[in-house]
Amino acid sequence: MEIQKVGVIGAGQMGNGIAHVLALAGYEVVLNDVSQQALDGAQSLIHKNLARQASKGKISEAEAEAALARITLSMKLADVGATDLVIEAATERETVKQAIFEDLLPHLRPHTILTSNTSSISITRLASRTDRPERFMGFHFMNPVPVMQLVELIRGIATDEPTFSACQEVVARLGKTSASAEDFPAFIVNRILMPMINEAVYTLYEGVGSVKSIDESMKLGANHPMGPLELADFIGLDTCLAIMNVLHDGLADTKYRPCPLLTKYVEAGWLGRKTERGFYDYR
């Protein structure tokens, strides 16, 4: 099964990065969103990030231009259906994702592989609501997509081998490394990363350290590229909370209890960089 054309649903933080790397690797990409403004914003961000890579000599100007030309923007799900692989990268809410798949199904070609970039939601459950659970799986990129080397590939209970190997091949063509994960809450990266971030928020909540001392401790004491609170702001505090809730509900263990301070920030609308306020103030 050769993948040539890929549909990406959602032009936000993850979706634009996914479209960027796919186009750079030579895939034709249909980038879809319900908002034209989001699509235009994604296109100019991809342009800016490709130009940054070209100015650093990582890619040529011609490669950057060709990549941009391979991305078609569309608000119609029918355009996404006419592809070989769909990567859904919409908001991390199960109802939103399920509604998208439901609307997409009538437009899909029989052979199209359906995937979700979900960072924590059950692949088996998402797949069960489609007409192709055997051709459904998790395709989880890390943020920022053009920089991070890993893609988690998650098999649902029904995912077949040709589907898994087709996705593995795509990851290899992107020049990235795939890690295979079983379908349990938050898979591998977020199962380990989010409790650490949550613990950093507890460390702040209990007054053990300040935002600055917590982040500096982990950067200089554990060689992390970003402190955990800075990273939480980067990922989005709403996403961090949603993942902690998936772990807490799915594994029924109090060790995954979201820190009340994290909940409070989300309730305040302080979601990190995207709202210009989180543990840091970006205004």
Which residues are annotated as part of the binding site for NAD(+)? Answer: 10-15, 33, 92, 97, 119, 143, 274
For position 144 contacting ligand CAA by CB under 6 A, the verdict is: yes
Minimum Å gap between C-beta 143 and ligand CAA is 4
Q: Which of residues 32-91 bind ligand CAA (CB under 6 A)?
A: 49, 52-53, 56
Each residue of 132-152: b (16+ CB within 10 Å) or e? bbebbbbbbbbbebbeeeebb
178 catalytic per annotation: no
Binding mask 208-237 for ligand CAA (x = CB under 6 A): -----------------xx----x---x--
DSSP per-residue string spanning 184-247: STTTTHHHHHHHHHHHHHHHHHTTSS-HHHHHHHHHHHH--SS-HHHHHHHH-HHHHHHHHHHH
Catalytic residue among 49, 190, 198, 230: 190
User: Which of 152, 178, 198, 230 is the catalytic position?
Assistant: 152
Q: How far is the CB of 225 from ligand CAA (least distance, A)?
A: 4
- 49, 88, 117, 140: which one is catalytic? 140
Number of residues forming the site for ligand CAA (CB under 6 A): 19
DSSP three-state, residue 261: helix
Where in 115-134 is the site for ligand CAA (CB under 6 A)?
Answer: 119
Catalytic, 180? Answer no
Tokens of 141: 């990129």
Residue 22 makes contact with ligand CAA by CB under 6 A: no
Structure tokens at 205: 């909540």
According to DSSP, residue 281 is labeled B
Q: Distance from CA of residue 156 to its chain's centroid? A: 17
Two tokens at 182? 């079983």
107 labelled catalytic: no
Q: Looking at this protein, which amino acid is placed at residue 77?
A: L
The 3-state DSSP class for residue 109 equals: coil
From residue 180 to residue 199, the character string flagging contacts with ligand CAA as x (rule: CB under 6 A) and all else as - is ---------xx--x------
- Whether 140 is catalytic is yes
Strands, E, within the chain: which ranges? 5-9, 28-32, 71-74, 85-88, 113-116, 136-141, 150-155, 177-182
Smallest distance, Å, CB 108 to ligand CAA?
Answer: 25
CB of 236 to ligand CAA, least distance (A): 8
Residues 6+ apart with CB under 8 A from 14: 89, 117, 141, 143, 145
Among 146, 227, 228, 272, binds ligand CAA (CB under 6 A): 146
* Interaction between residue 242 and ligand CAA (CB under 6 A): no
Closest CB 246 distance from ligand CAA, rounded Å? 11
* DSSP 8-class letter at 116: E
| Tokens encoding 245 | 């809730």
Q: Name the residues that contact ligand CAA, by CB under 6 A.
A: 49, 52-53, 56, 119, 142-144, 146-148, 189-190, 193, 225-226, 231, 235, 239
Q: Which residues are identified as catalytic?
A: 119, 140, 152, 190
